[in-house]
A and B are shown apart, each in its own frame.
Chain A
């Protein structure tokens, strides 16, 4: 049988790709579209390293078939920065050293972006629960949470200045 031809939108750009039914969205992003920022950690929805935003909802791209992306809006880590200008989350992760090996970082950033989109001023508890599906074996999470809360303030202040 022929492959599925999928038309979707990724980071605001119309994109087309071919896939087989059993291919996950993560497979398509990494292997077909060379968007390798989303990482494959567990392939079972436990680690969050493959997190992307689909139609405004945070999901694991390993738990979604690529063919399901037809007509959807997909936002990945590659769309977070504007050119050379880092998103406040990325800037704060760097400043707070909220990463060591970095493997979980794209997923954490995308998940944190989804949090701030929905809840611009999360409490520490809200941030910790929201990010409970993003596993990091290096940082102990504390720096991650501090970076996310600092970025929330930056985004708010940026919005006030604008």
Chain B
């Protein structure tokens, strides 16, 4: 095996420099739960590995602009243990906690889940529903883009050579707002989503929906934002016919594949059911926030 250069820079600038100066293929190492498996299988053959976990800004959850910032290399377990984040973004936190085992939670990161670009990534629909953005560092400096701009297809991202994610921003939470994420797997733990569904809603003081985002996982090449599904919730209190319309709009938007985890028909049907349930949970959480 060819020698792989490893560096663990202490600042964003040093990391950009290390990636830009790389001779040949470079890979960013955050939690490593995908990269190490790919190294071993031969799917990834980097000549340079840049470990971003020693950059202080990239680790931890903190207040930011009235909302939250999450360092790109923060382990999922740390995110799951943050009480403020849990209160503001229960859907993002429950999606994050679904990624892998306790051991994987101790290492895996939101940035890795996003940049691995699996259509079934659990945290991605929840982050998109939350209108999360990511700060991307690269040779041209920093830029902030919506999470949905990163994955472009299975295993593919819009990041250019030398770019990496520094942190995520979650916006300020108005009152009566909450989110939820559900996934379907054939057992209770340790599996890859057959379908995932995230809902994020903002209600007014009377419980009427003013804003909504519905995002699906594992039913398209990337996580799927469904504005038509969100639109049926606006001005509603989640009456039964609103739920039926949501279900129908979600099923129309799905364009899954059939594989060993589920058929097109099954995934489409389950997506509608999960979207209903996720929306119901998000509404209930938002009402409870009064």
**Is the CB–CB distance between B103 and A60 below 8 Å?**
yes
**Is the CB–CB distance between A64 and B101 below 8 Å?**
no
**Is the CB–CB distance between A111 and B103 below 8 Å?**
yes
B275 within 8 A of A: no
**Is the CB–CB distance between A58 and B102 below 8 Å?**
yes
Which residues of A have CB within 8 Å of B189? Answer: 129, 132
Contact partner of B40 (CB less than 8 A), chosen from A44, A60, A68, is A44
Task: Give the B interface residue count (CB, 8 A).
Answer: 28
Contact partner of A20 (CB less than 8 A), chosen from B3, B29, B33, is B3
A90 within 8 A of B: no
**Is the CB–CB distance between A59 and B106 below 8 Å?**
yes
**Is the CB–CB distance between A64 and B102 below 8 Å?**
no
Which residues of A have CB within 8 Å of B39? Answer: 22
B286 within 8 A of A: no
A64 to B8, CA, bound (A): 14
Contact partner of B6 (CB less than 8 A), chosen from A21, A62, A64, A129, is A21
Which residues of A have CB within 8 Å of B75? Answer: 57
CB contact list, A1-41 vs B, under 8 A: 1, 4, 20-22, 24
A114 within 8 A of B: yes
Asked whether A1 and B5 contact (CB < 8 A) given A65-B32, A133-B190, the answer is: yes
Which residues of A have CB within 8 Å of B31? Answer: 63
A43 within 8 A of B: yes
> Which of B1, B8, B29, B32: most chain A Cβ within 10 A?
B32
Which residues of A have CB within 8 Å of B4? Answer: 20-22
**Is the CB–CB distance between A114 and B102 below 8 Å?**
yes
A105 within 8 A of B: no
B37 within 8 A of A: yes
**Is the CB–CB distance between A21 and B3 below 8 Å?**
yes
**Is the CB–CB distance between A45 and B37 below 8 Å?**
yes
B53 within 8 A of A: yes
A99 within 8 A of B: no
Asked whether A132 and B5 contact (CB < 8 A) given A58-B106, A63-B107, the answer is: no
Which residues of A have CB within 8 Å of B247? Answer: none
**Is the CB–CB distance between A133 and B3 below 8 Å?**
no
* Interchain nearest-CB distance for B8 vs A (Å): 8
Asked whether A63 and B3 contact (CB < 8 A) given A57-B75, A68-B53, A129-B189, the answer is: no
A54 to B32, CA, bound (A): 14
Which residues of B have CB within 8 Å of A62? Answer: 36
Q: What mask results when residues 62 to 73 of chain B are scored 1 for a CB within 8 Å of chain A, else 0?
A: 000000000000
Asked whether A63 and B190 contact (CB < 8 A) given A21-B6, A111-B102, the answer is: no
A43 to B33, CA, bound (A): 11
Which residues of A have CB within 8 Å of B148? Answer: none
CB contact list, A124-162 vs B, under 8 A: 129-134
CB contact list, B135-187 vs A, under 8 A: none
A131 to B190, CA, bound (A): 11
Which residues of A have CB within 8 Å of B193? Answer: none
Asked whether A21 and B103 contact (CB < 8 A) given A62-B36, A64-B36, the answer is: no
Which residues of A have CB within 8 Å of B214? Answer: none
A43 to B4, CA, bound (A): 19
Which residues of B have CB within 8 Å of A68? Answer: 8, 29, 32, 51, 53
**Is the CB–CB distance between A64 and B32 below 8 Å?**
yes
**Is the CB–CB distance between A48 and B40 below 8 Å?**
no
A51 within 8 A of B: yes
B16 within 8 A of A: no
Which residues of B have CB within 8 Å of A4? Answer: 6
A54 to B6, CA, bound (A): 20
B-to-A contact residues, CB < 8 Å: 1, 3-6, 8, 29, 31-33, 36-37, 39-40, 49, 51, 53, 75, 77, 100-104, 106-107, 189-190
10 A-B contacts (beta carbon < 8 Å): A24-B36, A44-B37, A45-B104, A58-B103, A60-B107, A63-B31, A64-B107, A65-B6, A67-B6, A133-B101
Known: A45-B100, A60-B103, A60-B104. 12 other contacts (CB 8 A): A22-B1, A44-B37, A45-B104, A48-B101, A57-B106, A63-B31, A63-B37, A63-B107, A65-B36, A68-B53, A111-B102, A129-B189
Ranked nearest first, the 3 interchain pairs of A and B with the lowest CB-CB distance are A133-B101, A57-B106, A21-B4
